Structure 1
Amino acid sequence: MSGTVGSRPANEDPASWPEQSVTAEVLDDACKIHNNFPPETSLPIDEEEHLAHLRKILWDCKAWNKVGIIALHQHETLLPNHSFVGDIRQLDDERYACYIQKFANEEINIDKVCGYMFAYVEGKGLRPFLFRQGQMLDLSGVDKTLVPRIIQYLVQNRLTSRLGLGLLIPELSKNKVTEFPMGSGMALVPTELLLLRKLTTVATEWHWDPRTGVFGVGTGCVILKSGKHVKPKTDDKELTLEVDFAGVLRRANILQS
């Protein structure tokens, strides 16, 4: 791997800022970064003390409503030259989900995707390992010291392989969401709509709630006692072709009718 999760902070340069352009090199790095994450069985993490410090940095840098902290983990190993790309799907008049799929890098239009989740890579700074369809969120109001401060804290406390940053999608961040493997990818769905909501979850993302102003869990993963994630039975072809994403979720007994 050209850059690995490491122990030395990157220089303050534009490439360390989440608004960096997506290039072929960035996509190639993303696969390698993702495949170095600990497995899902490493969850949950116990980093309450560090989350308290990181949430203060988010607040001080005016990023409280733009950026969250994520637990780095992987559900599966990506094939070389493949990346995860998320797409926002509307479920009803008020609520949305994010369906994250695997794509060969050559199939990804780099002009139509942006970074979504990020990890620190030694010598390269903050790099995206998961992308999203659409334009980058407006981060103009966020203090530019955010990334250097976050990187410095993660490096000093040896957390670069455990914690990263995720940009908050307005349609999703107003509700707590649940993450689970689905079809050939993953889904992030509002927890209140799920038939699976009574199952055990572990926290994988934390942010300031825009409604309550409280910092807490924004995303939880559904798991079994074995530590493995629940993977509902779905039809990959249906997920790829069907516009009614909510209908797919209902037929898989995931979403309430």
Structure 2
Amino acid sequence: HSFSEINSEYKKNGFVLLKNFFSAEKIVNIKKYLQNTDIENLGCKVYFEKNKGEKVIRRIEDFSKKLDFIQELLKDQKLNDYISNLLGAKATIFKEKINYKQAKKGSGFKLHVDGHFYWTSKEGNKKKGWKEYSDDFLNLVIPLDECSRSNGCLKIYPKTETHKKLGKNWESITNSLLDGGPYLKNKFTSKIRPFYVIMQPGDILFFNWMCIHGSDYNNSVKDRPILYITYNKIEDGNFMEKYFHDKKHSLSLESEKSLR
């Protein structure tokens, strides 16, 4: 994959899928490490959901600095070259999560636009989603298992669809969303079909924060853990600690918005 090919696809669609970026073996090992690590004891943030009366892990946050094997993966030079190339500047991690879609019970995510929502700081001030930190974000998706239609893989629309249906800047997009974001109104329809991101361990996906995306329930018999890392330009600042602090202390992020 040449930089120019990837760049032009990313500019055109707002997302680009790279097959076999890592070896499948490397990703399988990461999944094993994760299964054998006491995540909660390391101080990572773990969120649960109730499903059919059973408490299951929904997602983990704030982990890369605490898990060597993930830190090492994210330090990959080629990966970082691609990231800075797509963002147009050196990058730093803004936020991170591992979404666990438990077999037969892992819920999906309704269509939404990342970072486009209003929230209230603990001082009572109205804040503009992720725009408080930077004006451009790049998401990296690394599946730790196969992602298929049956286990609720990501579905995504080109960025042009956001501009066409919702707006071209933060305010107009957010004001077109349900109750000030980040979810789309139920009446959203599109003439184009979403791209279902079918992935194998070793594949990666980059997508821009303005892309409309979501996923369906995991109806398969296997879990579907997936790593999401969001980057911003380092010149805008290092916000990961501030982001998690703001989220913890905000007055309005305890709702489903906290998933963002």
Q: Which has the higher helix share?
A: 2
Provide the TM-score with structure 1 as the length reference: 0.29
The higher relative CO (CA closer than 8 Å, separation ≥ 6) is in 2
Q: Name the TM-score, length of structure 2 as normaliser.
A: 0.28
